[in-house]
Amino acid sequence: MKRKVEQPLIKDGRRVDGRAFDEMRPIKIEVGVLKRADGSCYFELGDNKVIAAVYGPRELHPRHYQDAKRAIIQYRYNMAPFSVDERKRPGPDRRSIEISKVSREALEPVIMTEFYPRTTIDIFVEVLQSDAGTRTAGINAASVALADAGIPMRGLVSAIAVGKVDGEIVLDLNAIEDNYGDADMPVAMIAKTNTITMIQMDGKMTREEIQKGLEIAKNACRKIYQMQREALISKYSEEIE
Amino acid sequence: MGSDIAEEMRRDYVCDLIRSGKRMDGRRFLEYREISVEKGVVKRAEGSARVKIGNTQVLVGVKMEIGEPFPDIPNEGVIITNAEFVPLASPEFEPGPPDENSVELARVVDRGIRGSHALDVESLCIEEGEKVWMIFIDIHVLDDDGNLVDASALGAIAALMNTRIPYERHGFSPREVNPKVDNLMVKYTPVAVTTVEIDGNILVDPNMFEESAADARLIVTSTEDGDISCIQKSGSGVLSENTFERMIDIAVEEAHRIRKIYLR
């Protein structure tokens, strides 16, 4: 953790961007933004801009990767080279390999893979602009894109990070808070059932802080779930009209 | 990859046993396998440790070199953690570039050490912006009988505690060297403890069969002050809030026990 910052990250109970401790950045969701993909979603969380596409269920090659009982899920998280201050070298690095793995595992519990044996469902997430929180934005987008692709699901997955900044537990860290803060804990949940499908923590937190953070993240996931749901409903009700 | 019949049978066997309150190796649910930690097993490394948890075996070596700091943190040493799942350790490991499992393992071990502030990274600065110590923690998996993460994390911190800074090899005359700081300073000892949930029961330190029978596991790394320095849910299952909270408590308590016995 880097501890070199000129101004305090919290002043008079407000954060660097003026938010309250449990306040999320604004969210914008658009469903079905790509023509070729079977399902897609554009998701903004503050200055994060991500786009998710779903292809499938479709045939999986090589064949020995096929599962006779269920579809396999492949998830690729990728950052555009221009999405960060210092150009990101194209292609997977260790960070994106790990994010792809945990994001796939965050969504697998809700996808009814047993309906499509021997196939693959491919999820591609592209980060176009980043400001801390891209993995959670990606999961939110992917979850909506899966529903848009008509994949049977047990529920929607919603994700958000909490963290510790200047000793306070705050919701949805931005890049400055993430860089200079003490801890970051991204969480993905099935809001309907309050179950955790992804959780990671990086930094230093006490037992009580984790509990408090999880509670804040849970409430935020419920709000995100409502927005995801509304975005899907509004797209499909438009189509009917 | 594919779910073959043998794997399914093993899974059923493990789950049936657990339903009747037993584990295949006779352990209680919250009982860890026998651990052994041997430090200083590789002479050429600056520090090393071989950790065994039951049949699982991991060798961790620490090498130190002088390099350039990252531009955004010019006054801090660099820690680089890498894991290799070499094919001798399991029929499932293949040679080639690291797969997602070894990348995840290395990153989880790395975060546990970093988050706990186990090393005073500023003391590893030789010349601000120019020269710093780079610490390479290399995890070599020798035998995978489950729970590689705990073994690797324990091996990493044990190897760091065993590390001597190679001043002479890097051209520092012995006179400049303060013998008291010859050993790498380790301020905290993070210990990772993995738990899984199978049929509503929480099990600590899953062996290979239990690991593949469980849908999700939780790795919690904690330090002597009871703080948490890394959490990672791994696997495609879910965890209820209640299970998650209980797993943390179990992990912190078990970490205290392991630290007292094996990291003296």
Question: Within the 142-201 window of chain A, which residues sit less than 8 Å (CB to CB) from chain B?
Answer: 183, 185, 190, 194-201
Chain B residue numbers touching A100 (CB-CB < 8 A) = 100
pLDDT band at B180 (very low <50, low <70, confident <90, very high): low
Beta-carbon neighbour count of residue B39 at 10 Å? 17
Can you give the pLDDT at residue A179?
Answer: 92
Residue of A nearest to B74 (CA): A2
Residue A204: inside a domain = yes
Is the pLDDT confidence value at A21 over 70? Answer: yes
Interface check for B107 against chain A (CB to CB < 8 A): the answer is: yes
Contact criterion met (CB < 8 Å) for A65 and B252: no
d(CA B121, CA A222): 40
Which of A1, A65, A109 faces B237 most closely, judged by CB atoms?
A: A109
Which domains are seen in chain B, by residue range?
26-262 (3.30.230.70)
Average pLDDT over residues A18-32: 97
Q: And the tokens for B86?
A: 């070499």
Query: Per-residue pLDDT tens for A37-90?
Result: 999 999 999 999 999 999 999 999 999 999 999 999 999 999 999 999 999 999
Q: Is A134 helix (H, G, I), strand (E, B) or coil?
A: helix
Q: Could you tell me the pLDDT band of residue B145, with boundaries at 50, 70 and 90?
A: very high
Q: Which of A100, A101, A205 sits opposite B227 (nearest CB)?
A: A205
Task: Say which DSSP state B121 is in.
Answer: G
Cα–Cα distance for residue pair B264/B258, rounded to 1 Å: 10
Contacts B219 to A, Cβ<8 Å: none
**Is A104 part of the contact surface with chain B (CB cutoff 8 Å)?**
yes
Plot region of B97 (φ>0 → left; ψ -120 to 50 → alpha; else → beta): beta
Contact call for A203 and B226, based on CB within 8 A: no
Percent of chain B with pLDDT over 90: 86
Residue A2 has pLDDT above 60, yes or no: no
Q: Give the closest of B101, B111, B241 to A196, CB-based.
A: B241
Residue, of A61 and B252, whose pLDDT is higher: B252
Answer whether residue B11 shows pLDDT above 80: yes
Q: The domain spanning residue A197 has which CATH number?
A: 3.30.230.70
Based on C-alpha coordinates, what's the Rg of chain B?
19
Residue A4 is assigned to a structural domain of this protein: no
- Distance between CA A10 and CA A20 in Å, rounded? 10
Candidates B240, B217, B69; CA nearest to B149 is B217
What pLDDT is stored for residue B183 in this prediction?
87
Instruction: Give residue B75's pLDDT.
Output: 94
Q: Is the per-residue pLDDT at B1 higher than 50?
A: no
Residues B48, B140: Cα–Cα separation, whole Å: 11
Are A131 and A175 a contacting pair, CB within 8 Å?
Answer: yes
Chain A residues within an 8 Å CB radius of B2: 64-68
CA A213 to chain centre: 17
Q: Per the domain annotation, does A1 fall within a domain?
A: no
Confidence (pLDDT) at B8? 87
Query: What is the predicted pLDDT for the residue at A1?
Result: 44
Residue A5 lies in a domain: no
* ipTM for the whole complex: 0.91
Interstrand relation of B131-143 and B78-84 (parallel, antiparallel or unpaired): parallel
Those residues with Cβ within 8 angstroms of residue A144's Cβ, 6 or more apart along the chain or in another chain = A29, A31, A41, A43, A52, A156, A228, A231, A232
Q: Which amino acid is at B11?
A: R
% pLDDT > 70, chain A:
97
Residue A42: which domain range?
Answer: 18-240
Counted domains in chain A: 1
Interface check for A102 against chain B (CB to CB < 8 A): the answer is yes
Q: What is the sign of the dihedral through the CA atoms of A181, A160, A54 and A129?
A: negative
- A222 neighbors A22 (Cβ within 8 angstroms): no
Angle at B102 between CA B205 and CA B132, to 5 degrees: 110
Q: With contact defined as beta carbons under 8 Å apart, do B72 and A2 qualify?
A: yes
What's the token pair of residue B201?
């029961």
**A142 CB-near residues (< 8 Å, 6+ apart):** A41, A52, A54, A75, A103, A107, A123, A125
Chain B hits for A109, CB-CB cut-off 8 Å, are 236-238
- The 10s digit of each residue's pLDDT in B45-103 is 999 999 999 999 999 999 999 999 999 899 999 999 999 999 999 999 999 889 999 99
Residues contacting residue B248 through CB under 8 Å, at least 6 positions apart: A207, A210, B218, B220, B228, B231
CB B2 to CB A2 under 8 A? no
Question: Euclidean distance between the first and final Cα of chain A, in Å?
Answer: 53
A10 is a domain residue: no
Mean pLDDT of A114-136: 97
How many other CB atoms are found less than 10 A from the CB of residue B241?
Answer: 15
Query: Any chain B CB within 8 A of the CB of A112?
Result: no
Identify the DSSP state of B168. G
- Of B161, B155, B146, nearest to B194 by C-alpha is B146
Q: Does B8 touch chain A (CB under 8 A)?
A: no
CA proximity to B216, closest of A123, A98, A198 = A198
Indicate whether B175 pLDDT > 80: no
Read off the pLDDT of residues A163-200 as tens digits, 9 standing for 90 and up: 999 999 999 999 999 999 999 999 999 999 999 999 99
Query: Tell me, what's the pLDDT at A241?
Result: 67
Residue with the bigger pLDDT between B78 and B183: it is B78
B242 touches A: beta carbon within 8 Å = no
In a domain, A234, yes or no: yes
Examine residue A12 and state whether it is found in any structural domain, yes or no: no
Domain-located, residue A149: yes
Please give the pLDDT value at position B214: 94
Residue B179 has pLDDT above 70, yes or no: no
Ranges of H-type helices in B126-240: 148-161, 208-213
**For B93-140, what is each residue's pLDDT tens digit?**
999 889 999 999 999 999 999 999 999 999 999 999 999 999 999 999
Give the pLDDT confidence score for residue A23 in this predicted structure: 97
**B1, B226, B239 ranked by CB distance to A207: nearest:** B226
How close B98 gets to chain A, by Cα (Å)?
9
The band of B168, judged by pLDDT with boundaries at 50, 70 and 90, is: confident
